Amino acid sequence: MPDALSLPLIVGLSALGAWFVARVERCVTARAVTVGVLAFAATVLGAQVIATLAAATKKPLLGPWSLTLAVAALAALAWAVTRARGKRGTRGRAKRATQGRPTAAAPEPPAAPRHSESRLPLMVAAALGLASLGSGIALGLSNPPREWDVLMYHLPRAVAWLQHGNLGHYGYSAAFYPGNGEVPLLVALFQGTDRLTTLVQTPFALLGAVALYGLARELGASRRSAPLAGLAFLLTPMVVFQTSTAMNDLTTAGVVIAGAYLLVRAFSPSSTPGARRFDLAVGGIAFGLALGTKYTAMIFVLASLPVVAVALRLGRDRRTALRETALFAAALALPSVFWFAQNGIATGNPFAPILVKIGGWTVFHGTDVAAAYGSQQRVYAATPLAWCAFPWTDRWMMHGTYSGSVGFGAVFAAFVVPAVVVLGRGTLRVRNAFRGAGRDLRAPLLLILLALGIATWWTGGFHLPRYVWPFLALLYAPAALLFDEVGGRWRGVMLGLFAAAALFSSMETVRLIHADDDFLWSRVRPGTTKRECYHMPDLIYGLPPGTRILLHRPTDSYYYRFFRYPLVGGIPGNEVVMAGDIDVDIVDAFGDTAALHEGIRRERVQYVFSRTLTSPPMRLCFDDCPNRYRQVFAKVEPQYPWHRRGIPVREGARTVRDFPVVTRIYRVLGT
């Protein structure tokens, strides 16, 4: 049974256990990041262990109290292990006198006299950064879950786990995606309401900001400049928007940045072997959490393994390098292998539903994602070349909260070019980094990780801005170096530019919020029903319990009539979701007409829901079979909300304004 107490207990106990482990970190920033990473890992691992037991015993074991107990057990284990280690003596981790040692890429600049610098720009930027975070939280609290991805598979998946008491697969292809990002949703749903599900990503905005501060310090930024890296992250419109959503891009970004920080830190010249192994392990767990959260991070995370192996081999004997590489690999696998093993057992494809093909050889059968969804990028950029300019351009998204905007905001746009210049100069000096006993691989390692991230995003064939964002956000760290580089009165000018960019970024965020469609402003008020939130046709609420519904081509487009989440509901006592109780089985349908009709017959479908463009496939499917299907609901509506704003959006060669949208419900006769 959902229980409100379990949420604070799970969060508190996982953070406590993480703190026991993180105590060995002397640096406050690294300790904070370690606590964030390990607390998330403890929650995820607890759920995975219970789900494994649930699968073995075929009992619904995963619930609020079992997860609380699992997290408490992990915390107790962390306490016992760290206490035993403490008794054997500390590991002798060398205290780092200065966290940000000078690097080849960024030598410590002479500090400007403090009295000569106005604090006003920094205070303005800090206030705007905090206001941005606050506005994200306010948006989350004042709105229902509302993004297509959230309503089609993130939340329905967590609801299914809640209903079935494990982390299994339920009914649709997206249920096979790695699910670390949905575990916090499940914990939020333990409250018995979906009110807090929109805030599950907020901690990851803070994690990313703190990790960027630490990363900037590792690269050599001063204490005065490094906070700008974290602030810039909080001011990015995408971060503000995702702060208030139940998606998983901010989760991925937070753990990728945290992992990059800890990995870079592991290669600090002042790091002792014990400290290096600790940072490698926690950094590996952070990357493993990303691997178990989103397939888009998979190639990057797997490619980081040989990079780390090579970096470890430089200056160490083969045996030590191998041992530490194995440690990193094991850390990667720890929070992620569950999902791949579960997929492998259920479908034979660990990466289900994705097609894995090497050359002409199909390793695992599945969906060719690039072919199926790659056209989405047209919504964001008309040509691949447009991506070169995208930090400086902006296009409205289908929902403001979905990707926020293509542009990363004014702060990113202003400082990315000089940051790349500084990084480029660091590249020229990379060979120096490999020389001598005090070699410093931090800047080269960050460069390689950044390049790896962008390359895997670009070659993935699915160039959505939110997929590259975790990697591009790493650029905020070297951007902080700029403020030390210029020094003197120029620093004041740079800070003024930062404050102006922060102000413009905030204005952009506000503009994008207001530019969003009416749906975003379906405010949660006392008594708001699911029907009012999601504008579902009344007919749906008259369907008897157990009705089998088919969602026809559910990924065709981004409309908000037939989302799965309002249909599955299933949270007793939820004042938002369950006002219009319905109990249905839902089947997704793809494929050609014959396959569709066969599926309807085999699955004993009673109703077919469709909301498509007035394009031929729909008519071919149903209108030519009047004896089997009776249309019981139809409504013609204009295309995307931004159509009203006169912005033509191109799908293929034609603008979508040419196509009105028809919402239809068919009753299947004779079932």
Nearest to another protein of 505, 606 (CB atom): 505
Q: How many CA atoms lie within 13 A of 75 on its CB side?
A: 20
Q: Sheet containing 547-552: which strands, arranged edge to edge?
A: 584-589, 547-552, 607-613, 661-668, 629-637
Under rule CB under 8 A, residue 590 binds another protein: no
Give one word for 647, left, alpha or beta, with left for phi > 0 and alpha for psi -120 to 50: beta
Query: Binding mask 646-665 vs another protein (x if CB under 8 A, - otherwise)?
Result: xx------------------
- CB closer to another protein, 487 vs 572: 487
Which burial class, exposed, middle or buried, applies to 369 when counting CB atoms under 10 A from its CB (0-12, 13-18, 19+)?
Answer: middle
Minimum Å distance from CB 418 to another protein? 5
Q: How far is the CB of 392 from another protein (least distance, A)?
A: 5
Among 38, 159, 422, 524, binds another protein (CB under 8 A): 422
Q: Does 494 bind another protein (CB under 8 A)?
A: yes
Kindly tell me which residue out of 315, 374, 418, 599 binds another protein, with binding defined by CB under 8 A.
418
Q: 92 or 646, CB closer to another protein?
A: 646
- For residue 115, the 8-state DSSP code is G
Residue 470 burial (CB count, 10 A): 27
User: Would you say 23 or 643 has its CB closer to another protein?
Assistant: 643
Region near another protein per CB under 8 A, out of 256-264, 407-415, 429-437, 550-558: 407-415
Q: Toward another protein, which CB reaches closer, 170 or 504?
A: 504
Residue 564's Cβ-side half-sphere holds a number of Cα atoms within 13 Å equal to 29
The Cα–Cα gap between 118 and 105 comes to 27
CB of 39 to another protein, least distance (A): 36
Sort strands 547-552 and 607-613 into parallel, antiparallel or unpaired: parallel
Q: How far is CA 460 from CA 195, 274, 375, 463, 474, in A?
A: 34, 37, 13, 7, 19
The nearer residue to another protein, 94 or 417, going by C-beta atoms, is: 417
Q: Which of residues 606-645 bind another protein (CB under 8 A)?
A: 644-645
**Rule CB under 8 A: is residue 407 a binding residue for another protein?**
yes
Instruction: Report d(CA 644, CA 651) in Å as an integer.
Output: 17
Under the binding rule (CB under 8 A), the answer on residue 67 touching another protein is no
Residue placing its CB nearer to another protein in the complex, 109 or 184: 109
Among 147, 485, 517, 588, binds another protein (CB under 8 A): 485
Give the one residue of 65, 392, 558, 633 binding another protein; rule: CB under 8 A: 392
Candidate residues 508, 516, 517, 588; the one interacting with another protein per rule CB under 8 A: 508
Do the beta carbons of residue 550 and residue 171 sit within 8 Å? no
> Which helix (H) or strand (E) is 198 found in, with range?
none
- Which of the 8 DSSP states describes residue 621? I
486 contributes a contact to another protein by CB under 8 A: yes
Place of tokens 């895997």: 456
Tokens of 648: 């033509």
User: Of the two residues 204 and 390, which places its CB atom closer to another protein in the complex?
Assistant: 390
Cα 199 from Cα 180, distance rounded (Å): 16
Q: Does residue 425 touch another protein according to CB under 8 A?
A: yes
Nearer to another protein, 77 or 497 (CB): 497
Residue 233 or 498 with smaller CB distance to another protein: 498
Rounded to whole angstroms, how far apart are CA atoms 60 and 41? 22
- Separation of alpha carbons 537 and 659, rounded Å: 21
| DSSP secondary structure letters along 536-605 | --GGGGGSPTTEEEEEESTTSS--SSS-HHHHH---TT-TTTGGG---EEEEEE-S-HHHHHHHHHHTT-
Cα separation, 286 vs 341, in Å, equals: 19
Pick between residue 311 and residue 443 the one whose CB is nearest to another protein: 443
Whole-angstrom distance, CA of residue 351 vs CA of residue 456? 17
Instruction: Rule CB under 8 A: say whether 410 interacts with another protein.
Output: yes
Kindly tell me which of 452 and 497 has the beta carbon lying closer to another protein. 497
Only segment of 224-232, 332-340, 346-354, 489-497 that touches another protein (CB under 8 A): 489-497
- Minimum CB separation of residue 318 from another protein in Å reads 39
Nearer to another protein, 241 or 607 (CB): 241
Q: Which stretch binds another protein (CB under 8 A): 77-85, 336-344, 449-457, 500-508?
A: 500-508
Among 416, 480, 600, 661, binds another protein (CB under 8 A): 416
Position among 352, 414, 584, 608 found at the interface with another protein (CB under 8 A): 414
> How many helices (H) and strands (E) in the chain?
28, 9
- Residue from 380, 415, 476, 629 in contact with another protein (CB under 8 A): 415
* Count of residues of this chain found to bind another protein when the rule CB under 8 A is applied: 32
Residue among 106 and 247 whose Cβ is closer to another protein: 106
The position carrying tokens 């102006």 is 500
User: Which residues between 104 and 143 bind another protein (CB under 8 A)?
Assistant: none
Residue 453 binding another protein, by CB under 8 A: no
Binding positions for another protein, 187-206, rule CB under 8 A: none
- The residue behind tokens 């922060």 is 502
| DSSP structural state of residue 107 | P
Q: What is the C-alpha separation between 332 and 242, in angstroms, rounded?
A: 25
Residue from the set 147, 182, 394, 440 that interacts with another protein by CB under 8 A:
394
Is residue 439 classed as helix, strand or coil in its secondary structure? Answer: coil
* Cβ within 8 Å of residue 509, ≥6 positions away: 132, 135, 237, 240, 241, 404, 409
Stretch that binds another protein, among 26-34, 94-102, 364-372, 405-413 (CB under 8 A): 405-413
Residue 23 identity (one-letter amino acid):
R
Name the residue nearer to another protein (CB basis): 379 or 576.
379
Write down the least CB distance from residue 488 to another protein, Å.
Answer: 8
Q: Identify whether the C-beta of residue 518 lies closer than 8 Å to the C-beta of residue 146.
A: no
As a whole number of angstroms, the distance between CA 214 and CA 261 comes to 7
Quote the least distance from Cβ 208 to another protein, whole Å: 22
Cβ 116 to another protein shortest distance, Å? 15
Binding site for another protein (CB under 8 A): 391-394, 407, 410, 413-418, 421-422, 425, 482, 485-487, 490, 493-494, 497, 500-501, 504, 508, 511, 644-647
